[in-house]
Amino acid sequence: MIEWSEEDLMIRDAVRGWIDAEVRPSLDALESGELPPYDLLRSLYKTFGMDEMARSSFHARLAREREGGPADAEGSGDDRPGGGNAAMSMLPIIELCKVAPGLVSAMGVGLGLAAGTIMKRGTPEQKERWALPLLTMEKVGAWAITEPNSGSDAFGGMQATARRDGDEYVINGGKTFITNGPYADTIVFYCKLDDGAAPRDREILTFVLDRGMPGLEQSKPLRKMGLHSSPTGELFLDDVRAGADRLLASGSQGGRESARQNFVTERAGVAAMALGVIEECLKLSVEYAKTRELWGQRIGDFQLIQLKLAKMEVARLNVQNLVFRHIEMQRAGRAPTLAEASAMKLYAAQAASEVAQEAVQLFGGNGYMSEYRVEQLARDAKSFQIYAGTDEIQVTHIARDLLSR
């Protein structure tokens, strides 16, 4: 794949029109936290029939599973917005990230991580009960793995526990930096089985929890540097009782493998998010370079400004190629390895942050003002280098794969 097809471009233009009409006028309210993103995302889904596509795909997949047929190929994209249509899954991400990247974080965690985990590890009953309302955006989902004292050591440093008590589990612990945490209706929660083993060696369990369960507290949105349109919060669990019906199957390698599969999904998706930011920063910078004048000429005539624009274009082409490669893999029914997804994320995240910072510099004093928008995009892009694993963690995963060959 070397370019978007005519059908892809029609989808892109339709999504752009919806964003211009619905998202841009609401940007100030999203940035201030006054407007949670979920009604806008539901409107996107209904406008383009993505909720019905998700529902249809879900029922077809579940019917195959109940008949004993094969599950969908890994990486087919059926759990993503747009179902198996790779362009329909990527283009809304790219276009939304030009205006409000936080909307994509809020959407992606509910769909790709929370619903995705349930679809991979749940029973048919669990999928119908919890995954379907997430896939259609009827409910808001959160994926809770990060803790205050664990950071990048998500598994080893995990302190949240589940203790068996008869036919139930009693869960205690806290999570932080949880996307959608303040508003989540459904929470996929990772913790360790309290069985007397050494803390770092304990089995990882994954539960599905609901808002309002006794002992479960969801914080108000946290204040943060960027991604203001994506509410982030903390979770506190004090003797939350969960039946076995809320426990997802661990699989052959336990909850760790479930989380790793989600890291692949999340990290590969960052490339599309980064492309949106890069394209918008480049567009705004070119427009500014054409109209801003200094010493009697437009700044675009200065070679230093031209160098900045040229580097932005190189970054755009490179990240776009990563996105095209990922789409081709989806179409072929293949998912990237963890190392491949880490490489995609590492390069794309750094490129987006660098381009956004250069855009601020190109705008000068105006770039530091929120009305020129590159200020917001620079703050938002920085998050790409931190969430879904820091740049440093991506380097570790890439190098380990290379050294193991």
CATH code: domain 144-253 is 2.40.110.10
Identify the pLDDT of residue 252.
44
368: amino acid identity, one letter: Y
Tens digit of pLDDT for each residue in 138-165? 999 999 999 998 877 888 889 999 999 9
Identify the pLDDT of residue 102.
96
Identify the pLDDT of residue 341.
95
Has residue 76 got a pLDDT over 70? Answer: no
For 90-107, what is the mean pLDDT? 96
Spatial separation of the C-alpha atoms in residues 14 and 11, rounded to whole Å: 5
**pTM score of the predicted model:** 0.91
Which residues belong to CATH 1.10.540.10 in the chain? 6-140
In whole angstroms, what separates CA 384 from the centre of its chain? 10
Has residue 82 got a pLDDT over 60? Answer: no
Has residue 72 got a pLDDT over 80? Answer: no
Closest CA to 44 of 114, 113, 91: 91
Which residues belong to CATH 2.40.110.10 in the chain? 144-253
CATH code: domain 254-404 is 1.20.140.10
Tens digit of pLDDT for each residue in 269-291? 999 999 999 999 999 999 999 99
The residue that leads in pLDDT, 77 or 196, is 196
Q: Catalytic one among 31, 95, 234, 266?
A: 266
Of the given ranges (90-94, 164-168, 248-252), which has the lowest mean pLDDT?
A: 248-252
Share of the chain above pLDDT 90, in %: 81
Strands 186-193 and 216-218: unpaired
> What letter does residue 160 receive in the DSSP assignment?
-
Return the H-helix or E-strand segment holding 243. Answer: strand 232-243
8 Å CB contact between 96 and 23? yes
The domain 6-140 is classified under which CATH number: 1.10.540.10, 1.20.1330.10, 2.60.120.10, 3.40.250.10? 1.10.540.10
Residue 84's pLDDT band (cuts 50, 70, 90): low
Identify the pLDDT of residue 85.
65
- Give the residue ranges of DSSP H helices in 67-180: 86-97, 101-108, 116-121, 124-126, 132-135
Residue 254's pLDDT band (cuts 50, 70, 90): low
Which residues belong to CATH 1.20.140.10 in the chain? 254-404
Residue 268's pLDDT band (cuts 50, 70, 90): confident
8 Å CB contact between 173 and 191? yes
Instruction: Give me 263's structure tokens.
Output: 């890291």
Is 266 catalytic? The answer is yes
8 Å CB contact between 357 and 284? no
Whose tokens are 């995705």? That residue is 116
Identify the pLDDT of residue 71.
58
8 Å CB contact between 356 and 381? yes
Spatial separation of the C-alpha atoms in residues 194 and 169, rounded to whole Å: 10
**Coil, strand, or helix at residue 275?**
helix
**DSSP letters spanning 174-221:** EEEEEETTTT-SEEEEEEEE-SSS-GGGSPEEEEEEETT-TTEEEPPP
Tens digit of pLDDT for each residue in 319-349? 999 999 999 998 888 989 999 999 999 999 9
Identify the pLDDT of residue 253.
52
Sign of CA dihedral 389, 395, 401, 404: negative
